[in-house]
Amino acid sequence: MFATFTTREAVVMAEGIYRQDGKRGPTWRAVVSAGRDPVTGKRRQIVRTFRTEREAIDWRLETLQRIRAGTYSEPSTMPLGEYLTRWLASRQDLAPSSRTRYESVLRCHIIPDLGHVPLGELRPDHIQDLYDRRAGTSTPFMMHAILHPALDRARRLGMIHRDILDGVIVTGRRNIRTGDHPRRWWGWTELERFLDTAREQEPRYYPLFHTLAATGLRISEALRLRWEDVDLAAGIVRVTESKTTAGRRQVTIDPDTVAVLRDHWREQTMRHEAMGPAWSDRGLVFDRGDGHPMPHRTIAHTMDRIIRHAEVPRLTIHDLRHVHASLLLERGRPMHYVQRRLGHASITQTLGTYAHIVPQTDAADAAAFGDGLRQARQQRTDRGSEARVTET
């Protein structure tokens, strides 16, 4: 039987909510009268089916309010897959790597499962089932990164009438690494051993690895760096080409890194003069030997060789960025400073990656609070004593 509702909801239910029993359990059919068609004069009805009674009643109430306010429009019948494909094509702000990743997620996960569903018939349980089938992986987070802005835009355009993701739980692997086995990157000793080995065995690649470790730049940012972006006198590197707006930033470098880059500039200048017209003058800071960009795969293989000789735990090129951030945080640098240095758009991203590195100071914090309160009480006691002495 029906659950207990308020008087208003009971009337609505009686007028246009119907239960339908099927092989997979009951569903609820909501019907709203939308007046008569101005062309044919026939009576119009809007019909939707829901899995729960609550959803059917909420939809009917909201639809009636929109009709009475004159703001109702028919939800889009465009399939979700077609809409998401168009939405992605309109996103001119995405970096090439992000676009490729989004296309892969759409093609492999979202479109095969929900691509045929019309936008107007998309329900929260559709999305929740999609996420739950991939629970425990990072895929639900990637799907949510697409669906959240795409469906929000559809809502603002009137293609759907509510926030479909409201109440949906992203059941993927947690981003915040605060569990029993947090990711460990190199410490100071291991980083020094790696860089020392690189300087001895791979001198051509040493300036790149040193710069990555000393600045926290992404490898793509470092390989696009030009000498016009580097001010050795001021000790500043300007990142003008990045995957995000926040990534375009200014990074201060230490005197040792300035010296490494100055020596590298002299060595590169000598190669340029020796090669003459064969040199590709692109102004790149890091080149493969003839002015052309360094191949990413060659850099990765070179780093693996250095790691084996240095006998340090294996890390990737991108992990040098994590090493830089983790060592700064271990030295007590503020989280928001590290965020700006890495070019993160939000401090939430920084916290989600490095929360386990920040020193746990609960005991010290509690002691500091207690000391502050005791000092305030003591000051008040001292002022009262002074006042009594003055009166006498």
Question: Could you tell me the pLDDT band of residue 3, with boundaries at 50, 70 and 90?
Answer: very low
Lowest mean pLDDT among 118-132, 163-177, 288-302, 370-384: 163-177
DSSP letters, 217-264, are --HHHHHT-BGGGEETTTTEEEE-S-SSSTT-EEEE--HHHHHHHHHH
Tell me: pLDDT of 39 over 80: no
Tell me: pLDDT of 191 over 80: yes
Q: How far is CA 203 from CA 87, 258, 261, 302, in A?
A: 46, 16, 12, 11
Q: How far is CA 84 from CA 109, 129, 219, 344, in A?
A: 12, 18, 30, 26
Task: Tell me the torsion sign for CA atoms 374, 375, 379, 385.
Answer: positive
Beta bridge partners of 33: 45
DSSP letters, 145-176, are HHHHHHHHHHHHTTSSSS-TTTT----S--SS
Q: Are the beta carbons of 225 and 208 closer than 8 angstroms?
A: no
Reported as a single tens digit per residue, the pLDDT across 336-360 is: 888 889 888 777 777 767 766 665 5
Q: Which CATH number fits domain 188-355: 1.10.3720.10, 1.10.443.10, 1.10.8.60, 3.40.50.720?
A: 1.10.443.10
270 CB neighbour count, 10 Å cutoff: 10
